Amino acid sequence: MLDRIRASIPALPPAEQRVAKLVLADPRSFASLPVGELAERSQVSKPTVVRFCRSVGYDGLADFKLKLAGNVNEGVPFVHRSVAEDDKPGDVIVKVIDNAVSALLKYRNDAAGHAFERAIAALAAAGRAGKRIEFYGVGNSGILAQDGQHKFFRLGVNTAAISDGHVQVMAATMLTPGDCAVIISNSGRSRDLLDAADIARRKGATAILITASGSPLAQTAQGNNQILLACDHPEGYDLYSPMVSRLLHLMVIDILTTAVALRLPGELRPMLQEISAPSATRSRGDGGVDVASRVQPGLGHGPEQVPVLGALGRDAMQGAPSAVWRATQVRSNAAASPSSTPKTGTCSGPCPYCRATNSQRRTRSDRRRRAWPAMSVLAGHASR
């Protein structure tokens, strides 16, 4: 909340700016003082104080004070810094989103463009030269490292994500000049990451450090091959689970990926299209139709006993053009004349599933053997 007020000051009228500065100077007192004293301290009128509260997105002074009091109490430890114990779901939605949005907007205004330019140039050069781009992180940052590896993998570069501290140190010793190590850490205090950054520097590789400024990891950013992309936020790493920090780090990875993709050779675009096309086809399943929705429930062989393979399984087993029509037809026949099917489970005439007459009916073992390929097809689609 305070970050959002700070970011909105340039857009406020001069009188409301004085109210905003009073809030930022002593938010606890502002939440408890009456409107008259607030107006006197800000040297504005009482209506101006109320207008300020509405300008920054609140219903009025009472609503603003209520939200401000909950914000300055630093939330619920180990849960979230912007929520209170008695918040309703609607309040949690607003507070969590506001907290994330204000952090992203603040980072947009504070991001060091020259540092990003150096990092993007180093990554693009490594990608063009076929050098290694490795992402290091532990814990929650290890998941972010995997996200970075996945995004750069699609660009056709030699990349890897390592979340084990010992492997990070060993991998750093294999780096050479021209390689890049992207090291992600919220606290910047991991001993293994500090060692990996130092080893990468001594090996002549470029180390790109995504961490908080002032952290031990950030302080190692010295020399031309050490680039700090500082992500500062008020979320204490020792008191709250990483939420805003995770979003900021993901955003930094997205910025790097997008900028590097624009700098890599033009033949990269067709390759990205080839990667996307099979993924889209697989996500649609059988011809763009949801496989699960086509599986017909529990009938076996014949009108009463269709195997639990669904339309796709019957297509694969028999090569028939319209399994959906067959299922509808058989169920209609079974409903119209349930006595037409012998209780022995055999067909009295040409069966739409086995395509055989009584004299040509296959044995049970033969039908079971023919069902295996269809079941394999279903299993393959389910695993995707």
Q: Give residue limits of the domains in the chain.
A: 2-109, 111-265, 291-383
- What's residue 366's pLDDT? 58
The string of DSSP codes covering 297-339 is: PS--STTT---TTHHHHHHHHH--S-HHHHHHHHHHHHHH-GG
- What's residue 235's pLDDT? 63
Q: Strand pairing partners for 352?
A: none
Q: Strand pairing partners for 227?
A: 208
**Which CATH class name applies to 2-109?**
mainly alpha
Whole-angstrom distance, CA of residue 176 vs CA of residue 160: 15
- What's residue 293's pLDDT? 43
- What's residue 234's pLDDT? 64
What are φ and ψ of residue 40, in 5° steps? -65, -45
Provide the CA 300 distance to its chain's centre, in angstroms.
Answer: 43
Which own/partner contact pairs does 35-40 have at CB distance under 8 Å and 24+ positions apart?
Answer: 35/61
- What's residue 309's pLDDT? 39
- What's residue 321's pLDDT? 40
**In the block, residue with structure tokens 């599986």:** 295
Looking at 3.40.50.300, 3.20.20.70, 3.40.140.10, 3.40.50.10490, the CATH number of the domain 111-265 comes to 3.40.50.10490
Per-residue pLDDT of the chain (384 residues; tens, 9 = 90+): 777 788 888 889 999 999 999 888 888 788 888 888 889 888 999 999 999 988 888 888 888 887 777 666 555 554 555 666 667 788 778 777 877 888 888 888 888 889 999 999 999 999 989 999 999 999 889 999 999 999 998 888 899 999 999 999 999 999 999 999 999 998 888 899 999 999 999 999 999 999 988 888 998 888 788 999 998 876 655 445 567 888 999 999 999 999 999 988 766 666 666 766 665 556 555 444 444 444 444 434 444 443 433 444 444 344 444 444 344 444 444 444 444 444 444 444 455 544 444 444 555 555 555 555 544 444 444 444
Which residues neighbour 108 within 8 Å (Cβ) at sequence distance 6 or greater?
Answer: none
Whole-angstrom distance, CA of residue 160 vs CA of residue 211: 19
Both tokens of 384, joined, read 């995707």
> Taken in order 215, 217, 222, 226, is the CA torsion positive or negative?
negative
